[in-house]
A and B are shown apart, each in its own frame.
Chain A
Amino acid sequence: MYAPFELEMPGDLAGALDALAAGRDSKTVPIAGGTNLIVDMRAKRERPDRVVALGEVGELRGMDFGAERISIGGRTTVTDLLRSPEVAEAAPSLIESARLFAGLMVRNTATVAGNIACGSPAADLVPPLLSLDADVTLASAAGTRTVPLDEYFLGYKRDVRRPDELITRISWPRLPVPSVNTFYKLARRKGDAITVTGVALTLCAAGGTCTKARIALGAVAPIVLRARQAEALLEGRALTPALIDRAAAAAAAASSPIDDVRASAGYRLHTVEVLTRRLVSRAWDRFDRQGDQGTAASAAVPAHEVTAQRRAGSDGRSA
């Protein structure tokens, strides 16, 4: 089933980094949840010589909720995210994504760092994290560096991580008040599906003006990317339907999708525009209704219920 490989199971981070450093001359890969790697090895798309298993590396677990920033270990699983009320408050979009992430068994083992490091444009945790201005901490035996997630991806399945580096932590700043942070996954079915078009949005407002916009697009380009021109159109302005239309068109223009088995490029462009318009309009309406009072996340109801209601609004069911 698998080509033969050596398996190393270091007990701590230093051991893991040493194992990766030692393997620089051979094809050495780290494995966390393995939900991509095992599939690729089984299909013989990946044939590593050595596999460094991170299951025993405790330093990669744990979440830290500071006053300014949230920081989570790279081996945080998708299920860990869903079980954390603090993440639900600090990153509603991430929870919305996690809830629709693959199936339960995969959620129990797939990790945040693994989802980033796989480099897939359809990686569902990445648009939310991009919309949150997340940073990625990379460690190797030689040292540690932090790069903005926004600068992490170089191209299709290419990134700045060296083979001897691990993603140890992911962190992002707390959302300002008021703000809306949301994600919509468009797929061919509701459960356990690869994304056709994913849009994550952070929108902040003050005094009737949009103070900050982050629009991150999944599965519509070689990498998950931000729609910078669309963001720029919104920031510093009071949003009008015409302006939102222009931003939605700009988001589509930023996309460079392909035809694949899930959808055509044309459908993806159409839905980037539709979803961007929809998410921005709804977020702006929230500010209008709330008179700039409070964030979606800090409203009286728990964040996951807020997101549930938002989903209800988008698909027609009553919450």
Chain B
Amino acid sequence: MTGITSEAPSRPNVRFRQVGRPLTRTDAPGKVAGRTPYAGDYVMPDMLHMRVVRADVASARLVRLDVSRARALQGVACALTAADLPDRAVSTDIPGQVGRKRLDTGQQILVRERVRYFGEPLALIAAETRDVADHALELVEAELEPIPGVYDPVEAMQPGAPIVTEPDNIVAERRIRKGDVEAGFAEADVIVENTFRTPFQEHAFLEPEVGLAWVDENDVVNIRVSTQVIEHFRPIADAIGVPHNKVRIRGALVGGGFGGKEDLTVEIYLALLARRTGRPVRLEYTREDSFVGHGKRHPFVLTYRTGVTRDGRITALDVRMVADSGAYVFLSPYVLLYALVAAPGPYRVDNLDVFARAVATNNMFTSAFRGFGALQACAAYEQQMDEVAKAIGLDRMELRRRNFLKTGEPMSTGFVPPSAIWTDRCAERAWAALGEPTPARGPIRIGRGIGCYQQSYGRLTFLHDTSEAWVGVEMDGTVVVRSGVTDIGAGQVSALGQIAVEALGTTLDNVVVYNSDSAVTPLAGTTTATRALYMTGNAVKQAAEAVRARLVERAARAFGVAPDDVDMGFNEVFVAERPDRSMPLVELVRICGAEGIHRSELAMFRAPFTDFLDPETGQGQAHPDYAYGAHAVEVAVDVDTGEVEVLKSVAAHDVGQCINPAAVEGQIQGGAQNGQGYALSEEMLYEEGRLITPSFSEYLMPTAMDMPKVECIILESRSGVGPYGAKGIGEPAMTPVAPAIANAVADAIGVRVFEMPITPERIVRALKRRDGTGRLDSPA
């Protein structure tokens, strides 16, 4: 159920013929019919099958690793350990275009001496069949001498804690200092302080990590892989010691990314064994591999101290954040930066102090996940807003209204987002859409909650992000787009097609988009950070409009009018005021071809390039722009058992401009589900760093039976920095969901559970603590 509202657009509507329509995505028919090959569907003659041997403890010294029995097994082609590799680390940094290494973020490819997390790879096996590889896995003997580990980021900062990352486990530290916090607290009538905890989260894509690698006739290592980032060819080449042009990544349509395929996964193992054996090698992670094979969402501990006046004006905010970085750095410094910048949320806070640290532990390493730190901040600031409202006896919505950041106002870093800020409209619409309250009944209490957010789209501006796309018109009027962008299931490629055909006067069935090949499609950058539409959409629009300008100029001459008077649409070129004066697009293209008029264009879009934020004050520009919106829910809570049912779930987002409303709704529906699982049921449990919930029978995402109907309200301010004023929806769709649910549960039962996931047991414990009716004692 979708309601699209284009109220008070900030500039007049363009007349769209393709953009803004819920067209059937170009990737849909193949997927629905099962024809679309994913990376795991590719096979080659003479192909070997790989497995990864992993450590079964989280912190240990590798005393002895013996692969001789595995090597001796018939059908085993290769068994590789760190001893067979040069002592080289893999960079796990953001693959940025500026080429500067910012921090020592290296990870050993295979354990050389020290095991730092459960599941860390010890050896690689390649064999003639999958069964032989499985068997060989069991023949590898590893002697691991346990070393005391540390499994809590707060403990990891204490003196004497085991050191995972030299010198003190603190892998990143960021700060914002703005205004005068002390004066702000002095001005406050009430100061509210709370600590919130957010959990690990697994991406749980349908398609586990998988790839196929071979060395071609030019000695180039080709890797067909499920990834969000084909630019990883550079760190792969560095890690295996070949020039950058000797590694080629060929993507495929991806069966889900969510940030979990933003880092390298199977690529380096594949590249090493393809080169070592000279044969094609295939590696497909089992689900158990996948649970330990890619970084998780950072758990955060967030302490919010808010000063507020009786009439609901926030006078000061002090935030302390600690993020669990796990055993390796990966993207922790950047995730932390997102959390830092997002700390006050979509509210105007002039006196602000934020101090955030990412800390190494022997837990699973953590990295990118939809929302990327800003989501964890939202989980805390929106719960804190409800607690502040309660403390001063003000309506929750009213407190928000009085503090919302407005269009043209400076955010936490002092930067003024260039687009419209429609948090207020989104919040009112979502809240109103909850409708009549469901009546409470017996032990079933009803509660409502809202989450409002600010989420960036586009990468950090100091990374100097660029994206390239090539657009050409064939002699029959069909359109080809070439761009390296990866499509991770959200319709990225189809949206680019829609933009190209909008500019070139044809229809979506007349375009083919070639994507995701690091050697032959122009590099478009990562499909991460809600940037694909913003960056590559702009690049495609630039390229297509350059071609259009040349076509239109030639048509104008043919019609004897000015180029501005010529329009194109549905395969016709015509004089805008005189549609009877027209010619088929194909005829115009033939004329251009005959006259040597250039029918293609390679364009590069550049995001704003800035320096890093001021290291002392955190002031400056961090991102190109921000998206705003809200999510509202109604829940039923059984106060005896603690069970929660989400009854209503309403999303209202300003997406700037919909390219494809059906795809936007898909993102919103998925975000509602992803956020609901994060809030209520998804839990990765570790014992001494060992994951004890490595399967979908223990790691519980909401099923169709758990999801209510999600109502999507799409607002279009047409003010974003993406194509046609688009913003982004990939990450925003999820960001506000969990705090909305947390607030609804607290509203229902009158007491807050400060730690997610909000399990039935935690609810019962919170109620018993409040009511003084004892604890949940375990039997003696």
In the assembled complex, how far is the CB of residue A236 from the closest CB belonging to chain B, in whole angstroms? Answer: 28
Task: Please state if B698 and A261 are interface contacts (CB–CB under 8 Å).
Answer: yes
Q: How far is the CA of A196 from the CA of B702 in the complex (A)?
A: 16
Let me know if B386 is at the binding interface, CB within 8 A: no
Q: How far is the CA of A263 from the CA of B765 in the complex (A)?
A: 12
Task: Across the interface, name the chain B residue whose C-beta is closest to A3.
Answer: B135
Task: Please state if B761 and A267 are interface contacts (CB–CB under 8 Å).
Answer: yes
Given the known inter-chain contacts A256-B779, A316-B444, please indicate yes or no for A190 contacting B636, CB distance below 8 A. Answer: no
Task: Please state if A264 and B700 are interface contacts (CB–CB under 8 Å).
Answer: no
Chain A residues with CB under 8 Å of B775's CB are 266
Given the known inter-chain contacts A266-B777, A267-B760, please indicate yes or no for A189 contacting B636, CB distance below 8 A. Answer: no
Task: Please state if B761 and A315 are interface contacts (CB–CB under 8 Å).
Answer: no
Q: Which of B636-677 contact A (CB under 8 A)?
A: 636, 638, 640-641, 643, 645, 647
Task: Please state if A188 and B760 are interface contacts (CB–CB under 8 Å).
Answer: yes
Task: Please state if B764 and A1 are interface contacts (CB–CB under 8 Å).
Answer: no
Given the known inter-chain contacts A189-B681, A265-B778, please indicate yes or no for A270 contacting B764, CB distance below 8 A. Answer: yes
Chain B residues with CB under 8 Å of A21's CB are none
Task: Please state if B643 and A315 are interface contacts (CB–CB under 8 Å).
Answer: yes
Let me know if B442 is at the binding interface, CB within 8 A: yes
Chain B residues with CB under 8 Å of A270's CB are 764, 776
Of the stretches B5-13, B174-182, B348-356, B703-711, the one at the interface is: B703-711
Task: Please state if A274 and B641 are interface contacts (CB–CB under 8 Å).
Answer: yes
Let me know if A302 is at the binding interface, CB within 8 A: no
Task: Please state if B703 and A192 are interface contacts (CB–CB under 8 Å).
Answer: yes
Q: How far is the CA of A192 from the CA of B760 in the complex (A)?
A: 17
Contact with A along B428-447 (1 / 0, CB 8 A): 00000000001011101010
Task: Please state if A315 and B779 are interface contacts (CB–CB under 8 Å).
Answer: no
Q: Which of A156-193 contact B (CB under 8 A)?
A: 186, 188-193
Let me know if B565 is at the binding interface, CB within 8 A: no
Task: Please state if A264 and B764 are interface contacts (CB–CB under 8 Å).
Answer: no
Q: How far is the CA of A269 from the CA of B760 in the complex (A)?
A: 14
Q: How far is the CA of A191 from the CA of B446 in the complex (A)?
A: 22
Q: How far is the CA of A61 from the CA of B547 in the complex (A)?
A: 69
Of A190, A194, A263, chain B has the most CB atoms within 10 Å of the CB of A190
Q: How far is the CA of A113 from the CA of B531 in the complex (A)?
A: 53
Let me know if A202 is at the binding interface, CB within 8 A: no
Q: Which of A97-132 contact B (CB under 8 A)?
A: 103
Let me know if B685 is at the binding interface, CB within 8 A: yes
Number of interface residues of A (CB under 8 A): 32
Task: Please state if B761 and A1 are interface contacts (CB–CB under 8 Å).
Answer: no
Q: Which of A260-305 contact B (CB under 8 A)?
A: 261-267, 269-271, 274-275, 278
Let me know if A145 is at the binding interface, CB within 8 A: no
Chain B residues with CB under 8 Å of A194's CB are 697-698
Contact with A along B679-692 (1 / 0, CB 8 A): 01101010000001
Let me know if A259 is at the binding interface, CB within 8 A: yes
Picked from A103, A256, A257, A261, the residue with its CB within 8 Å of the CB of B692 is A261
Number of interface residues of B (CB under 8 A): 40
Chain A residues with CB under 8 Å of B636's CB are 315-317
Task: Please state if B130 and A274 are interface contacts (CB–CB under 8 Å).
Answer: no
Given the known inter-chain contacts A1-B131, A316-B645, please indicate yes or no for A264 contacting B778, CB distance below 8 A. Answer: yes
Chain B residues with CB under 8 Å of A186's CB are 641, 643, 760
Task: Across the interface, name the chain A residue whose C-beta is closest to B138.
Answer: A44
Q: How far is the CA of A202 from the CA of B694 in the complex (A)?
A: 37
In the assembled complex, how far is the CB of residue B534 from the closest CB belonging to chain A, in whole angstroms? Answer: 35
In the assembled complex, how far is the CB of residue A238 from the closest CB belonging to chain B, in whole angstroms? Answer: 23
Of A266, A316, A317, chain B has the most CB atoms within 10 Å of the CB of A316
Task: Please state if A189 and B638 are interface contacts (CB–CB under 8 Å).
Answer: no
Chain B residues with CB under 8 Å of A264's CB are 761, 776, 778
Q: How far is the CA of A264 from the CA of B764 in the complex (A)?
A: 12
Given the known inter-chain contacts A1-B134, A266-B775, please indicate yes or no for A193 contacting B764, CB distance below 8 A. Answer: no
Given the known inter-chain contacts A261-B685, A315-B444, A315-B636, please indicate yes or no for A1 contacting B703, CB distance below 8 A. Answer: no
In the assembled complex, how far is the CB of residue B446 from the closest CB belonging to chain A, in whole angstroms? Answer: 8
Q: How far is the CA of A49 from the CA of B779 in the complex (A)?
A: 41
Let me know if B693 is at the binding interface, CB within 8 A: yes
Task: Please state if B759 and A188 are interface contacts (CB–CB under 8 Å).
Answer: yes
Task: Across the interface, name the chain B residue whose C-beta is closest to A253.
Answer: B779
In the assembled complex, how far is the CB of residue A33 from the closest CB belonging to chain B, in whole angstroms? Answer: 16
Q: How far is the CA of A188 from the CA of B685 in the complex (A)?
A: 14
Task: Across the interface, name the chain B residue whose C-beta is closest to A257.
Answer: B779
Q: How far is the CA of A103 from the CA of B577 in the complex (A)?
A: 60
Task: Please state if A190 and B776 are interface contacts (CB–CB under 8 Å).
Answer: no
Task: Across the interface, name the chain A residue whose C-beta is closest to B444.
Answer: A316
Q: How far is the CA of A271 from the CA of B641 in the complex (A)?
A: 6
Chain A residues with CB under 8 Å of B778's CB are 259, 264-266
Task: Please state if B645 and A188 are interface contacts (CB–CB under 8 Å).
Answer: no
Q: How far is the CA of A256 from the CA of B780 in the complex (A)?
A: 10
Q: How far is the CA of A264 from the CA of B697 in the complex (A)?
A: 17
Task: Across the interface, name the chain B residue whose C-beta is closest to A277.
Answer: B640
Chain B residues with CB under 8 Å of A314's CB are 638
Of B441, B683, B693, B775, chain A has the most CB atoms within 10 Å of the CB of B441
Chain B residues with CB under 8 Å of A191's CB are 703-706
In the assembled complex, how far is the CB of residue B288 from the closest CB belonging to chain A, in whole angstroms? Answer: 8
Task: Please state if B706 and A189 are interface contacts (CB–CB under 8 Å).
Answer: yes
Q: How far is the CA of A291 from the CA of B491 in the complex (A)?
A: 60
Task: Across the interface, name the chain A residue whose C-beta is closest to B757.
Answer: A188
Q: Chain B residues in contact with chain A, CB under 8 A? A: 130-131, 134, 438, 440-442, 444, 446, 636, 638, 640-641, 643, 645, 647, 680-681, 683, 685, 692-693, 697-698, 700-706, 759-761, 764, 775-779
Can you report 8 A-B residue pairs in the complex whose CB atoms are below 8 A from each other?
A: A1-B130, A190-B703, A191-B703, A261-B692, A263-B759, A264-B761, A267-B776, A316-B645
Question: 10 closest A-B pairs (Cβ-Cβ)?
Answer: A316-B444, A191-B703, A266-B776, A191-B705, A190-B705, A267-B761, A274-B640, A265-B778, A316-B636, A266-B778
